[in-house]
Amino acid sequence: MDKRFQLQFTNKVDQELLRDAIAQWGISKRALTAIKFDGGAILVNGEERNVRHRLAEGDDVTIIFPVEEASEGLIPVQGELAVVYEDEAVLLVDKPAFMSSIPSREHPNNTLANLVYGYFEQQQHASTVHIVTRLDRDTSGLMLIAKHRHIHHLMSEQQKKGQIHREYEAVAEGIIVQDQQSIIAPIGRKDTSIIEREVRPDGQFAHTDVTVLTRKNNMTHIRLKLHTGRTHQIRVHMAYIGHPLVGDELYGGTHTFIDRQALHCRYIEFEHPLTKERVHFESKLPEEISTLIY
C-alpha cells in the first residue's frame, strides 16, 4: 500500500501548462522540490511529467508527495481520542481540559499531539502531527489537525487571511451589563512573567467580540469571537474589562466553583483544503461549565 499523500484532479483548460494547473492547490516551491527529489511524482494520465508539460482538457493529474517522517522525539501514546470529524486531509478532535496541546518540559507525554500520533500509528498513517488550531492546557473544545504537511500549509494560509473562524463560550465573573461589545486592546508579555500576558501599549493588536448569552448567580455566560489569535487573548481581554473568567486564577478569577478557566472552543468554520467548500462543526459545552449557569 502506497502511504504517500496524493492529490488528484481532472484538467479543465486545453493547452494549460502543468505548473499552472497545479498552482490552484497552493503547492509551494519547497513542496515541488521535495516532490522532484525526495520520492514524489507528478503524473498525467499515469505517466510522469515535468511542470512544463502542456495539458489537454480532460487529462487526469496526480500529485504524489514524498513519505512524511514523524517528528523526532514525539512519543506515540494510545488512549481515548474524541474524533469529531476525519477524512484524508484533516482531523478534528474535541480536546478535554487539563491536557496540553503539544509536549513541554512539564508535560512531555500525555498531550493531544502524543495521542494523535498514537492514533496515526494505529491507522498506519505516515505523517507527523500538524496542529492547525491550538488550545491552552485548561481550555476544552475543538482543535483542528492537518494530516499532511501540504494540508497544514494550506490551512496556515487560511489562518493568515482570517478565514478560519472559531467561537468560544465562557463564563465570566460578575454581571456584564453590555449585551455586545468589542474589546480592541494590544496584548504583550508581562515583564515579570514568562507565561502571563497583559494589555500594554507596546503589545500586538488584539480584537475580541463578546456577546452575552445569560446572566445568573453573579456570573455571565458569554460567546466570544476572535479576530486575532494572541496567546491567552480571551483571558487577558476579559480580565482587562474587569470580568475575568470563572476559575482563571492566573488572571484574577477564583476556583470556588470550577478548577480551571471556564472556557470552551464551541464552534469552528473553515474552507476544506480539498473540496474548497466551507464546513463548520460544533462541540457541546462541558457539564462543569454548563452547570455554572443552568
Catalytic residues: 136
CA–CA gap between residue 152 and residue 89 (Å, rounded): 9
Q: Which residues partner with 109 through β-bridges? A: none
Map residue 194 onto helix, strand or coil: coil
Q: Which of 275, 279, 280, 6 is nearest to 150 (CA)?
A: 6
Find where cell 461549565 sits: 289
How many CB atoms lie under 10 A from the CB of residue 214? 11
- Which grid coordinates are listed for 124? 498506519
* Residue 250, C-beta contacts closer than 8 angstroms, at least 6 positions apart: 195, 196, 235
Q: φ and ψ at 167, to 5 degrees?
A: -125, 140
Q: How far apart are CA 10 and CA 45, in angstroms?
A: 10
Edge-first strand listing for the sheet containing 60-64: 6-10, 60-64, 41-44, 47-48
DSSP string of 83-121? EEEE-SSEEEEEEPTT--SS--SSSSSSSHHHHHHHHHH
Give CA–CA dist 231/225, Å, rounded.
Answer: 15
